[in-house]
Structure formats: structure tokens, C-alpha cells
Chains A and B, each alone.
Chain A
């Protein structure tokens, strides 16, 4: 079997993966770094982030306020030691990116400009117009090209983590261009595979966001943390799910119901003012805004469209000049994809699955419980996002914890000797056989990939959406269980070795089914309402029982088990979340 070997291997070349790669190269240019990515790195989904990245830089702002906003935004589920570290490192990381050439938007005097963002008390969101993720990703990718120790495996698809004696030793991956299945060995591995929005039918997430790394880690024996916390963004375009960034509201946009009424005032989010007020109304946190939408719908005050009910996002009063300067991409997306011009028309929007607060459980150094295995970015859960992430914290998280994962994985790799290569290769050969027998060369099979995918997505939306109950979740659990069974009978018509995307679609579906199971297991067990996890049968937050992270494991028989880990509280004891005051 073909093999190659490196010191550190990154699964994923998005923001987190590339930041880690650079950190490793700067730590020690002699360490060989492999970046394995199923798409060319600059296609990774970080590219589509719009609004910005949070970091305290202005004199009127403080680190403690950023901590408090993050912790209260996360409904006290964040580990506060991790938040403090994150907030402290954030400005340095954003500056580093500035030095690498990121075209941050500027003040007239040449300093970096910041904008307000939802749930943030001060203006601290750095932005590059409204293509922040695009510019960050391209800056990181282009900068990474200057490090000769970085070896890229572009368009290689990882199917398995190789674990021997409780320690990670590399991965098995398929080179899409040739179909070659190879073992890529490494002394440490970082999972940077991003989120899993495609588990749901209506999402801002790209086609490639299937929770691959979460499932790989789960199968390898690592727990996932806080998977019940799924963020709905309040403003997606109907049909496409394309995101209209929070920046549109931060710049002054209003949310209106079918009567043209700023309905958020009815939901304990403050009073309507003509200009944006921080931590109030349209700048409240995403979970509360998405929940308010559902209530409006129930009151019959939303607008029916062929693609579901919507409300209106109105930015007309900002004027063409401001729209072009601050949110040009919003205008471009509306014009190109919705056929409307926000300068003159209101934008129809509805809540859309956007971000996964949960992920592979790590400690503050990005380490998972499996020796040598690290995780960073949306695929990981440290946790700084708690029960509800604040917009613009994620892009910064990629940098802070990407760099940290890189550093710790590099240090770990430096201390390791070769593992038991024979045992690892035997495992890799088994995996190759599995890929061939159960997927590539499989001729029997009756189930269609797209049918199972659609049924899974429907079950998740109905059972584990913005509001959940025991019954809705139990029903979803039953459906997903059946789909797991049916997946074994999947039909694959494409047996080609050359760029076989039916093969990868099948793998992605299997990853998503695992992730769906994990989300439901955590959500069923958490009998309280907190942040983005709202149970209509347990409507209150219950700190006595549930001020704890869910850890979901996979048992040997394939079933899941949920355990709890107390939340780390340092300086901010649990309190009520107050907005609009």
C-alpha cells in the first residue's frame, strides 16, 4: 500500500487548518506538515464568511467586556478560562493577519476599522467589507505558500483516522484525481474539517460541510461535546439559504414583520430606535432572534412565500452609498440570487442553520482525549461558544485555536518516535479494503444517496430544529437509526477511480448520519432550555443539573452514550441574560 509520512498532519485547509500549518512552520521549519483537504484550500468554507472577526482593539473597549459578551451570549455554557485566553489572543492574531496582508477595512487615518455586531456591547468586529472570510482565507492560503515545509494534499478525501494503542498515527485518504487510496502517517493530527450544516435541509453551509472530522473522531473513540447546540442565523434568503450577514443589521438594518412592525420589541430585546443600539433589538443574539421569528410565525405575522414563511430585512434607509461601502456583497447576493435590489426593496429572510457550537471535544490546548489528536475551528469544541456563538467570534477562533493547535501538535510531534508501523499499516490495508468492498466496487445496493440524505435532513429539521421536545427528538432518533440501517444497502453506480464524487457523497452521508445521531442524543438528554437549545417540554435553564457540557461517545456496538463535564467558571457566575437594557 502507498504510504507517506510527516510530522504533523492537518485534516482540512480552511481558516483553522491553514493557520495551524503556518504556526507549525514558524515553530520549527524542519517539521514536515501535511495539509490534507478534500477541496483546494481556498475553496474551503471559511471563504464565505461575510461579517467580520471580533477582537478588542479600540481604547473604549476592554477584554473583560468581550469576555462577558461571549459568556452571556453563550448562556453560560462557555468555559471561561478558554474565553479569557481567546479574548486575550484575539487582537494579536488579527494583527498578525494584518501584517500578512489581509485587506481589513480602515478608518480615514489608516487604522483598522471595527463595526458593531450582534450581542456585542462595543464595536470590536474587524471586517474586510463584507467578504471577511474570503479575504482571511486567501491571505492565509497565499501566506502559507511561502513555507517550504508545508506539503499539500489538495483534493484528498480522508476516510479514517489511524489509531494504535490509544495514539493517533495518521489517516487513510483517497486522492480524488486518481482514486489512489493511501496511508498518510504522522506523529500528530489536527482535525480542522469545519462544521456540519448539511445535516439540515436549509443551511448557509456549503456542500462540503458534512461533519467529516466529527464523525472520524467519534469513530476513533473521541467524544464530541455540546452537539445539541445548533445555531440558526435569523437572516437567510429563502430557497437558497444564502446568508445575509449580521453586518446588514449592525449597519442599521431593521427586521419587520408583515405589518412593517419591528417585532423584536415584543420579545424582551429592547425598544426600537432609529439607529442601532448595541446588544439590543436587531443586534440581539442570534438564538433569541431566530426564536422570535418562530413566535411571530405562530402569531400569523410572517409572510408566506413558496419557500416558507419570511420576515423582511429592511436596509433601504441606509442609502445606496452606505450599502455599497459597507455591505456590497449583500447587495450583490440579493441582486444575483434573489433578483431584488436592497437599495430599493426589502429583503425576504428566514432563520437558517448556520453554525455548530459543538464539535470534537478539546481542552484549552486544542488536545482531544486521544494522544496526538488535536482539533480546531468549527469542527472543535473548546468551548468558547457555549450554547450560542456570537457572530464574528468564529473567524477569530480559527486563528487563535488554529495557531494553538498547531503549536501543541508540533510540540507533541517533536517528542514522538515512530509508532508500530506494521500494526498501523495493517489497519490502513483493512481500511483500503473497506473503501473498495463497501463503496467503490459495490455492485449490489438499492438505496439512493440523495433519498437518504433528504430524509435525514427532513427528520432533523422536524425533530431537532429551533424548538424541540422529547417526542420530536425521539421520533428523529428513530428515523436516523433506520436510515443508518438503510445506508448499509446504499447503491453506488460509479466505480471509476477518477474523480469519483458519488463515492465521496456516500462517505459524506455516512458522516452526517453519525453527526445527526450525536446531535439528537445530546438534545434528548438535555432536559432544559439554554441558548440555541430550546425544549418546549423543559422551558427553563437548569443550572443545577445542566451547567455541564454534554460529551457524546460511540459505544463498541455502535450506540451512543452521553456523559457530562462541568463548565469551567472563573469570574462570571451564572446570571440572567439581559438584552435591550
Chain B
């Protein structure tokens, strides 16, 4: 028989079990398989009741984030061979409530996302007939990397502040706020700054940079938080020294 590898998969069915437990499955160690392929193999061939989220299998829909041997990973972009000879431990994303097996509850994140007003805010809309807002490639580069977030939530599962304080709005939401703040077409920065300053936790961020390190899309949420703090501090100084200078 071809070589196999053992997956230790966290199972939790709230209607049956009081708490999560691990279940082992042996799967073929196919060199082209990612962890997600192994989960699909389990679901199709071994145990149809295993639950997890996935869709695109190309690292862009953000559904398949899980803990793989303790690290937050996109399971569709994580090859089995990297863990040979195993075992590979697959768990739901850390710091989120578990719904079932590998599925976590993300409604809290969804409301945080909305809270930062992730849309273009303008005092005045230009009519479509007048064409596009001009934006040079350099202006685009200012916010581009913050727009690459796929909401996979690996950064939340890596962030020690999220672990301590569930109210912390979190790396991805701050990066998204910064994505709009830095967009030359946007005029909503002040509104967004107000939102961020109302949320706890941001000052607790110690810049250990875990969010940036684990991001599968090379977004730099730690950089966004840094930018935000600098802006907040200068705004605070400005409001002290020259209260008229804010807007």
C-alpha cells in the first residue's frame, strides 16, 4: 500500500459531545495533496460527518483557515509532505468559539469588519458621467497591500491581544480601515479614526508582528496598526496644541 500519514483531527459535535476531542485518520500521503485534500478524503471515504469550511481550493476565498500543528494556515495551501512523517494535528482556528468540528463562529468578526466603515466615504459624489477618479499607480500602491486581505482570520488566531481581549477589533479589521484611509478617493479617515479609538485593545498591541508573519497573503496588519497609532498620537497632539487644525 502507498505511504500514509496520520491526521489528528479535532472533533466536536455539540449535540453529542461535551467538549472537543481528537480523532485519528490515516490518509494517503500523496505528494500533490494539501491538508484540505486530506480532509476531503476523510469526508468522502472515511467519515461523512466531518465538518469544515472550504470552497475555492486556490487560496483566495478565505474559507479554509485552521490550526495545523498549532499554526494558523490556509489548509488549501499547506502540503501534507511538509509534515512527513506526521502526525498532523488539525484544529479549528484558535480564539474563536467552535461551532462544530473545524468550523468556528465568525459573526463577531463580521460585525468588527462592518464597524470600521469599509467603504468609500465622500463629502460629494462625482457623477458617473464625469468618469473615474484619477489615481496614479503610486497612490494605488499606498493602500494596495491592505486591500489583499481575504478575511481568512489566520491573523486573529495568531494574535496574543485577541487571545486576551475579545473586544480588540483585531488585525484584519484595522488593516481594512487603513485600506480605505489610504485610498486617495476616500474622505472618511476621521470617521474611521473615531471608530478605532472607541475600540479597546489597540493600545494593547505590542507589535510582536505575529499577524503579519502568519498572513498567507502578505498583508501587513502590524504595519497598519503602527500607522494608526502614529496618526492617533499626532492627532491627539494636534488637538491639544491647535484645536482648530484638526479637519
Residues of A140-166 contacting chain B, CB below 8 A: 142-143, 145-146, 154
Contacts of A243 in B (CB 8 A): 58
Complex contact A142–B118 (CB within 8 A): yes
Complex contact A103–B61 (CB within 8 A): no
Q: How far is the CA of A448 from the CA of B15 in the complex (A)?
A: 24
Q: Is A333 an interface residue (CB 8 A)?
A: yes
Given contacts A99-B120, A103-B143, A239-B32, contact A110 B58 (CB under 8 A): no
Chain B: which residue is nearest A454 at the CB level?
B44
CB-contact partner of B110 in A40, A107, A336, A448, under 8 A: A40
Q: Is B137 an interface residue (CB 8 A)?
A: yes
Q: Is A500 an interface residue (CB 8 A)?
A: yes
Chain B: which residue is nearest A239 at the CB level?
B32
Contacts of A450 in B (CB 8 A): 43-45
Contacts of A99 in B (CB 8 A): 120, 125-126, 128, 132-133, 185
Contacts of A96 in B (CB 8 A): 128
Pick the interface stretch among B49-57, B196-204, B222-230: B49-57
B216 → A minimal CB distance (Å): 9
A453 → B minimal CB distance (Å): 8
Given contacts A101-B185, A336-B77, A498-B13, contact A95 B147 (CB under 8 A): no
A311 → B minimal CB distance (Å): 19
Q: Is B6 an interface residue (CB 8 A)?
A: no
Given contacts A105-B140, A131-B60, A498-B13, contact A492 B48 (CB under 8 A): yes
Given contacts A100-B119, A134-B150, contact A47 B56 (CB under 8 A): yes
Q: How far is the CA of A497 from the CA of B139 in the complex (A)?
A: 49
Q: Is B144 an interface residue (CB 8 A)?
A: yes
Given contacts A95-B128, A336-B77, A499-B100, contact A207 B55 (CB under 8 A): yes
Q: Is A177 an interface residue (CB 8 A)?
A: yes
Residues of A97-129 contacting chain B, CB below 8 A: 98-101, 103-112
Q: How far is the CA of A530 from the CA of B58 in the complex (A)?
A: 32
Q: Is A536 an interface residue (CB 8 A)?
A: no
A170 → B minimal CB distance (Å): 24
Q: Is B180 an interface residue (CB 8 A)?
A: yes
Contacts of B143 in A (CB 8 A): 103
Complex contact B103–A110 (CB within 8 A): no
Given contacts A47-B60, A145-B119, A146-B117, contact A39 B132 (CB under 8 A): no
Q: How many residues of A contact B (CB 8 A)?
A: 61
Q: Is B114 an interface residue (CB 8 A)?
A: yes
Given contacts A48-B56, A494-B48, contact A135 B61 (CB under 8 A): no
Q: Is A3 an interface residue (CB 8 A)?
A: no
Complex contact B55–A101 (CB within 8 A): no
Complex contact A496–B15 (CB within 8 A): yes
Q: How far is the CA of A242 from the CA of B76 in the complex (A)?
A: 12
Q: How far is the CA of A358 from the CA of B120 in the complex (A)?
A: 35
Complex contact A240–B128 (CB within 8 A): no
Residues of A307-361 contacting chain B, CB below 8 A: 307, 332-333, 336-337
Residues of A156-203 contacting chain B, CB below 8 A: 177
Given contacts A47-B61, A101-B186, contact A95 B45 (CB under 8 A): no
Given contacts A43-B62, A101-B185, A449-B48, contact A498 B15 (CB under 8 A): yes
Contacts of B48 in A (CB 8 A): 448-449, 492-494, 502, 505
Chain B: which residue is nearest A145 at the CB level?
B114
Q: Is A214 an interface residue (CB 8 A)?
A: no
Given contacts A42-B151, A108-B136, A146-B117, contact A92 B128 (CB under 8 A): yes
Complex contact B126–A493 (CB within 8 A): no
Q: Is B131 an interface residue (CB 8 A)?
A: yes
Complex contact A43–B55 (CB within 8 A): yes
Q: How far is the CA of A336 from the CA of B144 in the complex (A)?
A: 21
Report A390-414 CB contacts with B as 1/0, cut-off 8 Å.
0000000000000000000000000
B121 → A minimal CB distance (Å): 9
Q: How far is the CA of A496 from the CA of B45 in the complex (A)?
A: 19
Q: Is B63 an interface residue (CB 8 A)?
A: yes
Chain B: which residue is nearest A204 at the CB level?
B58
CB-contact partner of B134 in A111, A154, A242, under 8 A: A111
Q: How far is the CA of A520 from the CA of B196 in the complex (A)?
A: 55
Contacts of A47 in B (CB 8 A): 56, 60-62, 150
Q: Is B99 an interface residue (CB 8 A)?
A: yes
Q: Is B14 an interface residue (CB 8 A)?
A: yes
Complex contact A333–B49 (CB within 8 A): no
Residues of B93-127 contacting chain A, CB below 8 A: 99-101, 103, 105-106, 110, 113-114, 117-120, 125-126
Contacts of B91 in A (CB 8 A): none
CB-contact partner of B118 in A109, A145, A493, under 8 A: A145
| B45, B51, B101 — most chain A CB neighbours (10 Å) | B51
Given contacts A43-B61, A99-B126, A493-B48, contact A206 B135 (CB under 8 A): no
A92 → B minimal CB distance (Å): 5
Q: How far is the CA of A145 from the CA of B114 in the complex (A)?
A: 6
Complex contact B119–A106 (CB within 8 A): no
B173 → A minimal CB distance (Å): 11
CB-contact partner of A100 in B13, B55, B120, under 8 A: B120
CB-contact partner of A103 in B62, B77, B147, under 8 A: B147
CB-contact partner of A496 in B13, B32, B61, under 8 A: B13
CB-contact partner of B147 in A107, A138, A154, A449, under 8 A: A138
Q: Is A519 an interface residue (CB 8 A)?
A: no
Q: How far is the CA of A508 from the CA of B120 in the complex (A)?
A: 37
Q: How far is the CA of A300 from the CA of B125 in the complex (A)?
A: 59
Q: Is B220 an interface residue (CB 8 A)?
A: no
Contacts of A239 in B (CB 8 A): 32
Q: How far is the CA of A110 from the CA of B139 in the complex (A)?
A: 9
B111 → A minimal CB distance (Å): 10
Contacts of A207 in B (CB 8 A): 54-57
B196 → A minimal CB distance (Å): 16
Q: Is B170 an interface residue (CB 8 A)?
A: no
A310 → B minimal CB distance (Å): 14
Contacts of A48 in B (CB 8 A): 56, 58, 60-61
Chain B: which residue is nearest A93 at the CB level?
B128
B172 → A minimal CB distance (Å): 12
Q: How far is the CA of A242 from the CA of B15 in the complex (A)?
A: 37
Contacts of B180 in A (CB 8 A): 101
27 A-B residue pairs with Cβ-Cβ distance under 8 Å, sorted by A, are A39-B55, A39-B61, A40-B106, A42-B61, A47-B56, A48-B60, A98-B132, A99-B120, A99-B125, A99-B133, A101-B119, A101-B185, A103-B140, A106-B137, A143-B119, A145-B114, A146-B119, A177-B105, A207-B57, A242-B58, A336-B59, A448-B48, A449-B48, A450-B43, A492-B48, A498-B14, A502-B48
Query: Which 9 A-B pairs have CB atoms at the shortest separation, nearest pair first?
Result: A110-B134, A450-B44, A494-B49, A142-B118, A499-B100, A101-B120, A206-B55, A43-B61, A502-B48
- Known contacts A154-B110, A239-B32, A497-B15; 13 further A-B pairs (Cβ under 8 A): A42-B150, A47-B56, A48-B58, A95-B128, A95-B132, A99-B128, A106-B135, A138-B147, A145-B114, A206-B55, A450-B44, A498-B14, A502-B49
